[in-house]
Structure 1
Amino acid sequence: MDKKRIQLPQIKRQNDLPLVLNKQEVRELLNAPKYLKHRLILGMLYGCGLRSYELCNLLQSDVDFERKTVFVKKQKGKADRYVPLSTHLVRGLKRYFATENPVKYVFNSQVTKDGVVQPLTTVGIQWVIKESRSKVNTQKKFTTHTLRHSYATHLLEDGMNIMCLKELLGHARIETTIVYLQVSNSGSSVKFSPLDTLFAR
């Protein structure tokens, strides 16, 4: 008797699934800040799926309005990647650049040392999130990285395939991206309650 078995690679299951905002919560968050700069910071985090440090280091030269792309340079051993830039962000950034005249970086810090241009800091981003959080009608205790989780989940729910999402997120391993399949409610894995069909005729 042949006892050979096909061994499938095991995917390490992540016990703590990421917290995700729904689209209404994201809309409320993006509209919460008073200043255009702060709305754009939140918009770039969600609309491009950027990590905080990636947004801080983003140069104006990395943004291509004509191609509607953002070039994200590799950091911490990760690969370079291009992500799409929403028409909404194109319009907002053009207006922001024209009125605020940031230097070198897309977003400058308010404090400069000896006249040297300083980029936005992760602490600055956290402050924007903290100031805006109370204006969102939700009980969720979300953080800056929640916007990246929401970006990934919403793209899957809007029909993007997992391999394309992996490239946009800049993940080295597909296992890191697969966690979003457990969170999303889309495609062949749409989840529903049996109560939804119990009384259906």
Structure 2
Amino acid sequence: MENKPKFIPDPQLQLMDQVLETLRYYHYARSTEKTYCQWILQYIYFFNKERHPKDMGEREVEAFLSHLASVKNVAATTQRQALNALVFLYRDVLHLPLDQSIAPVRAKRKRHPPTVLTEEEVQNVLAQMKGTHLLMAKLIYGSGIRLMECIRLRIQDLDFGQGKLFIRGGKGRKDRVTFLPRSIQGELRQHVERVKELHRRDLAEGFGEVYLPNALAKKYRKAGWKTPWQYVFPSKTRSVDPRSGKERRHHVLESGLQKAVKAAVKKNGIDKRATVHTLRHSFATHILENGTNIRVLQELLGHADVKTTEIYTHVMRRDIDGVKSPLDRLYNQ
């Protein structure tokens, strides 16, 4: 089987325009576009724009990544993100793949126990929310999905019959299945009916096509107009897609839910650094406390390594409940 020819960006373009052209050819997320471009620019400026990246290589990449770790003191995940951006630059834009033996000074991996809310605190936070934001928050806490996984859900990802939620192209571009909480299926069905009606109005006005990932738009040319592909949480207004120039209804922005959760936490006087992602952490911790096998939780969360899942065992209440502080024993408390 022959390998498909690699995409070659327009040689007449400036480097960063070539980067953007390649990112969009391979359908990278907008957030990834922004992040990769920022790291590539930092790499270029690190060497004072004196040389083009094509005239540099492994040695310069190692120097840049080492600087991030030893001088900038960035986290290990940040250093990995920078490396991924440069691997993309050399492999897919310049077609000068880096040697896999790159060995920069490694940033120290700091593992902090996740912030977790008690079940009562979760209930209080949800009580301060309303509308679509409340439904989204319930879905994240009830199924353990990530913020962007929630926002990018399509109608066809909801299986009410089996009570399942299908996550397609999650972190690491992996698919998985989690459960659809029974307690919100009724209101979620009603919400989907409203979304379908919104889609029917868009169609009547000559719109209604939704963005499709990767090569699906070419393979299924009419799918973007179909109801199953519509976002579960669409934006209230249509907007022009900067890539295609088409006026479409995209999904809601993540910032809306982030602000709503932050406001609800503040109203409850909860002195924890709780965010939308804290709902996912709380889901994981509470489900472990209820006796779920850690391997099952690993699958539900979509973790590649069970070690990532094991961090929740450090914040389980049952691990320390019943163990008395020596000070309390001293004073018979």
Pairwise same-fold verdict (TM > 0.5) = yes
- My pick for the range that moved more, 190-199 or 157-166, is 190-199
Task: Report the counterpart of residue 192 of structure 1 in structure 2.
Answer: 322
| Residues 24 and 76 (structure 1), Cα distance of their counterparts in 2 relative to 1, 3 Å cut | closer
Contact 2:129/2:261, CA 8 A, preserved across alignment: no
- Alignment RMSD: 2.4
Cα offsets for 1:58-89 (capped at 9, x unmatched) = 00110011101100012342421111111112
Gaps of 5+ in 2: 1-107, 200-229, 241-246
TM-score by length of 1: 0.82
Task: Report the counterpart of residue 177 of structure 1 in structure 2.
Answer: 309
Confirm whether residue 50 of structure 1 aligns to residue 180 of structure 2.
no
Task: Report the counterpart of residue 97 of structure 1 in structure 2.
Answer: 192
Cα distance in 1 between the residues matched to 2:235 and 2:268: 25
Cα distance in 2 between the residues matched to 1:128 and 1:112: 22
Contact 1:28/1:135, CA 8 A, preserved across alignment: no
Task: Report the counterpart of residue 64 of structure 2 in structure 1.
Answer: none
Alpha-carbon shift at residue 92 of structure 1 (Å): 1.6
Contact 1:46/1:147, CA 8 A, preserved across alignment: yes
Cα offsets for 1:108-163 (capped at 9, x unmatched) = 12232144111122222212213322332422221111011000000001111111
* Partner SS, residue 138 of structure 1: coil
- My pick for the range that moved more, 60-69 or 111-120, is 111-120
Larger radius of gyration: 2
Task: Report the counterpart of residue 33 of structure 1 in structure 2.
Answer: 129
Alpha-carbon shift at residue 38 of structure 1 (Å): 1.6
Task: Report the counterpart of residue 81 of structure 2 in structure 1.
Answer: none
Q: How many residues align?
A: 186
Higher relative contact order (CA 8 A, sep 6+): 1
Which of 277, 289, 292 aligns to 1:145? It is: 277
Confirm whether residue 123 of structure 1 aligns to residue 249 of structure 2.
no
* Partner SS, residue 279 of structure 2: helix
* Partner SS, residue 134 of structure 1: helix
Confirm whether residue 85 of structure 1 aligns to residue 151 of structure 2.
no
Task: Report the counterpart of residue 164 of structure 2 in structure 1.
Answer: 69
Cα distance in 2 between the residues matched to 1:98 and 1:74: 25
Task: Report the counterpart of residue 293 of structure 2 in structure 1.
Answer: 161
Contact 2:165/2:180, CA 8 A, preserved across alignment: yes
* Partner SS, residue 291 of structure 2: coil
Task: Report the counterpart of residue 234 of structure 2 in structure 1.
Answer: 108
- Where is the helix percentage greater, Structure 1 or Structure 2? 2
| Residues 137 and 24 (structure 1), Cα distance of their counterparts in 2 relative to 1, 3 Å cut | farther
Contact 2:157/2:167, CA 8 A, preserved across alignment: yes
The aligned amino acid for 1:118 is H
Alpha-carbon shift at residue 30 of structure 1 (Å): 1.5
Cα distance in 1 between the residues matched to 2:187 and 2:306: 33
